[in-house]
């Protein structure tokens, strides 16, 4: 990093909040400096303007301390990469004859960008590509649309792209494949993959920063950052909740859609089944294409197993065992992967052991039970209710009686611990409660668990009973 710019950041950092520093400085890069000129790369002009409002005076003061006077600041808008066909060289468009160094809030130039910003993290899962995705009848329509989007991300036909289906059917893999393909073909584009839970946590952190510092503009910065994305992919969209978080999402969605930016969402249910969303958000989710991703049929299950064996370099895995697994394991790809791994591990316990259908028949029932944890959320709820002598319908009701609420908290805690279902799903099981309510219940039990030895022993005894079922 350039020495003067590094010194500037060292002076700047203590003068602004950590949230503001991360939000803006992490997306700024000094590409050149000398005694009079500083060249800074930022995503967009809008990013620069928002940064000025949040920390412009502090940045100016830090620059003056380092340079002795205000340097001439030139700006590279990296999101405009490739939009100028005039040359591959950097060109400075500055006001002629000016002898006064401009203030930081008065940029005098924009440079034609020549490189993708090096510090942007897409959070894409690189292993999830179209080449590693198994296609069959049950997912062909979704795959064809995904490939079309990757080939021409500027087309608005499928915007937004809403993909829904049960856990483990390949939703996350497919949207990452789109993102990775776009990044490969258009490396200058800002593609971001984020889980709905992380989106919500980021907004909560920004809101807290604004509450703690009256001069903070963290929420505006949060919204701006997402509005600067070229392709936004949100996984497990059903997890987004909260009036203010959804309001922020609404503004982000409107901006991206109005500017032709692509949006992809995955969910465990269709938009029509999402609860707690305003009509204005639901209507926007329907602007593009909504498509289900179903559980794999037998042919696709067989292909998924063969793809995994090839990818892992496994040779000699008997085809009759592949056919057996395709017949008996009907849930999803994750369960199939677990079966193959477990059978291979079991065959390695003794030198003379070989992979056979008989071996698979011994392993599969045990692994299926472990994968399902042998318990459904309803079974957990019924056992806890029976333990405390209350009825399941009372726990699912709106009752706030102390004993009912306490049992409900325990059901939430054990449900998220012993099953793989989301907090939103738990909320639906308990009478339509939202994600934040379930999270509050779990945290309440965790606090009691840590401070009340008698309570901890009681919950541990219930857990022992659950594990024995």
pLDDT (tens digit, 9 = 90+) per residue, 308-354?
888 888 888 899 988 888 887 766 777 788 888 888 888 887 766 78
Note whether residue 191 is domain-resident: yes
Closest CA to 273 of 439, 432, 396, 411: 432
Do residues 450 and 356 both lie within one domain?
A: no
Note whether residue 113 is domain-resident: no
- Is 313 in a helix, a strand, or coil? coil
Task: List 39's β-bridge partners, or say none.
Answer: 32, 74
* DSSP secondary structure letter of residue 431: T
Do residues 306 and 238 both lie within one domain?
A: no
Do residues 450 and 407 both lie within one domain?
A: yes
Tens digit of pLDDT for each residue in 73-131?
888 876 544 444 332 223 232 333 333 333 333 332 233 333 344 467 889 998 899 98
Range of 71's domain?
3-77
Do residues 287 and 337 both lie within one domain?
A: no
Angle ∠(266,272,273) on CA atoms, nearest 5: 75
Do residues 253 and 393 both lie within one domain?
A: no
Note whether residue 21 is domain-resident: yes
Do residues 161 and 246 both lie within one domain?
A: yes
Residue with the two structure tokens 């100016």: 60
Long-range contacts of 22-29 (CB under 8 A, 24+ apart): 23/54, 23/218, 23/221, 23/222, 23/225, 24/50, 24/51, 24/54, 24/55, 24/221, 26/119, 27/117, 27/119, 27/120, 27/225, 29/117, 29/118, 29/119
Q: Quick one: pLDDT at residue 19?
A: 61
Q: Quick one: pLDDT at residue 367?
A: 64
Q: Quick one: pLDDT at residue 368?
A: 60
Do residues 352 and 381 both lie within one domain?
A: no
Do residues 155 and 227 both lie within one domain?
A: yes
CATH code (residue 61): 3.30.300.180
Show which of 241, 268, 292 is a domain's final residue. 292
Give just the sign of the alpha carbon dihedral 396, 401, 406, 407. negative
Note whether residue 108 is domain-resident: no
Closest CA to 40 of 16, 18, 56, 20: 56
Note whether residue 109 is domain-resident: no
Rounded to an integer, what is the distance from CA 343 to the centroid of its chain?
A: 32
CATH code (residue 461): 1.10.1750.10
Q: Residues with Cβ < 8 Å from 305, sequence gap 6 or more?
A: 322, 325, 326, 336, 340
Q: Is 126 exposed, middle or buried (0-12, 13-18, 19+ CB in 10 A)?
A: exposed
Residue pair 267/163 in contact (Cβ under 8 Å)? The answer is: yes
* Rounded distance between C-alpha atoms, residue 70 and residue 48, angstroms: 17
Q: Residues with Cβ < 8 Å from 221, sequence gap 6 or more?
A: 19, 20, 23, 24, 50, 54, 206
249 — phi, psi (to 5°)? Answer: -60, -40
* Rounded distance between C-alpha atoms, residue 420 and residue 371, angstroms: 9
Q: What count of residues does the chain have?
A: 469
Kindly list the distances between the CA atom of residue 325 and the CA atoms of 11, 82, 215, 321, 363, in Å, as whole numbers in the listed order: 62, 49, 60, 6, 11
Segments in the chain below pLDDT 50: 80-118, 370-373
Show which of 341, 372, 403 is a domain's final residue. 372
Compute how many other C-beta atoms are within 10 angstroms of the C-beta atom of residue 215. 10
The number of domains in the chain is 4
Note whether residue 53 is domain-resident: yes
Do residues 216 and 144 both lie within one domain?
A: yes
* Rounded distance between C-alpha atoms, residue 301 and residue 297, angstroms: 6
User: What would you measure as the largest C-alpha separation in the chain, in angstroms?
Assistant: 86
Parallel, antiparallel or unpaired: strands 72-77 and 37-42 = parallel
CATH code (residue 242): 3.40.50.300
Do residues 160 and 270 both lie within one domain?
A: yes
Q: Residues with Cβ < 8 Å from 451, sequence gap 6 or more?
A: none
* Rounded distance between C-alpha atoms, residue 361 and residue 341, angstroms: 14
* DSSP secondary structure letter of residue 72: E
Show which of 292, 314, 344 is a domain's final residue. 292
Q: Residues with Cβ < 8 Å from 104, sequence gap 6 or more?
A: 52, 56, 59, 60, 63, 70, 73
pTM value is 0.54
Note whether residue 304 is domain-resident: yes
Do residues 218 and 305 both lie within one domain?
A: no
Closest CA to 171 of 127, 196, 139, 203: 139
Note whether residue 331 is domain-resident: yes
Do residues 139 and 288 both lie within one domain?
A: yes
Give just the sign of the alpha carbon dihedral 88, 93, 99, 101. negative
* Rounded distance between C-alpha atoms, residue 391 and residue 454, angstroms: 24
């Amino acid at each position: 990093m350039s020495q003067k710019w590094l010194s500037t950041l060292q002076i700047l950092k203590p003068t602004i909040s950590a949230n503001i520093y991360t939000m803006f400085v992490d997306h700024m890069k000094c590409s050149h400096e000398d005694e009079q000129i500083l060249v800074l790369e930022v995503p967009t002009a809008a990013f620069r303007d928002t940064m000025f409002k949040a920390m412009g005076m502090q940045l100016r003061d830090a620059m003056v301390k380092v340079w002795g006077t205000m340097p001439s600041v030139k700006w590279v808008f990296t999101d405009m990469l490739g939009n100028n066909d005039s040359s591959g060289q950097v060109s400075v468009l500055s006001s002629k004859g000016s002898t006064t160094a401009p203030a930081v809030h008065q940029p005098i130039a924009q440079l034609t960008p020549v490189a993708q910003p090096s510090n942007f993290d897409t959070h894409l899962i690189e292993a999830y590509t179209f080449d590693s995705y198994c296609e069959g009848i049950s997912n062909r329509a979704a795959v064809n649309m995904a490939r079309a989007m990757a080939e021409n991300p500027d087309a608005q036909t499928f915007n937004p792209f809403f993909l829904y289906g049960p856990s483990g059917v390949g939703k996350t893999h497919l949207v990452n494949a789109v993102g990775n393909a776009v990044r490969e073909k258009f490396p200058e584009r800002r593609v971001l993959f984020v889980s709905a839970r992380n989106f919500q946590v980021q907004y909560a952190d920004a809101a807290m920063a604004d509450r703690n510092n009256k001069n903070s503009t963290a929420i505006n910065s949060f919204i701006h950052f997402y509005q600067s994305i070229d392709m936004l992919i949100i996984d497990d969209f059903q997890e987004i909740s909260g009036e203010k978080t959804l309001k922020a999402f609404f503004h982000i969605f409107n901006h991206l859609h109005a500017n032709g930016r692509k949006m992809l969402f995955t969910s465990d249910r269709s938009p029509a089944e999402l609860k707690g969303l305003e009509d204005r958000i639901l209507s926007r989710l329907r602007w593009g294409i909504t498509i289900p991703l179903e559980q794999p049929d037998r042919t696709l299950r067989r292909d998924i197993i063969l793809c995994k064996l090839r990818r892992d370099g496994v040779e000699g895995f008997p085809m009759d065992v592949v056919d057996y697994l395709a017949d008996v394991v009907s849930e999803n790809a994750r369960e199939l992967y677990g079966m193959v791994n477990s059978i291979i591990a079991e065959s390695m316990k003794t030198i003379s052991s070989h992979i056979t259908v008989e071996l698979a028949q011994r392993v599969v029932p045990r692994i299926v039970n472990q994968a399902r944890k042998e318990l459904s959320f309803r079974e957990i709820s019924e056992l806890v209710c029976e333990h405390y002598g209350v009825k399941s319908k009372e726990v699912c009701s709106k009752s706030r009686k102390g004993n009912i609420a306490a049992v409900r908290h325990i059901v939430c805690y054990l449900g998220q611990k012993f099953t793989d279902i989301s907090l939103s799903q738990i909320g639906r099981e308990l009478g339509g409660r939202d994600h934040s309510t379930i999270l509050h219940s779990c945290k309440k039990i965790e606090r009691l668990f840590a401070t009340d030895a008698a309570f901890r022993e009681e919950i541990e005894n219930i857990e022992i009973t659950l594990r024995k079922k």
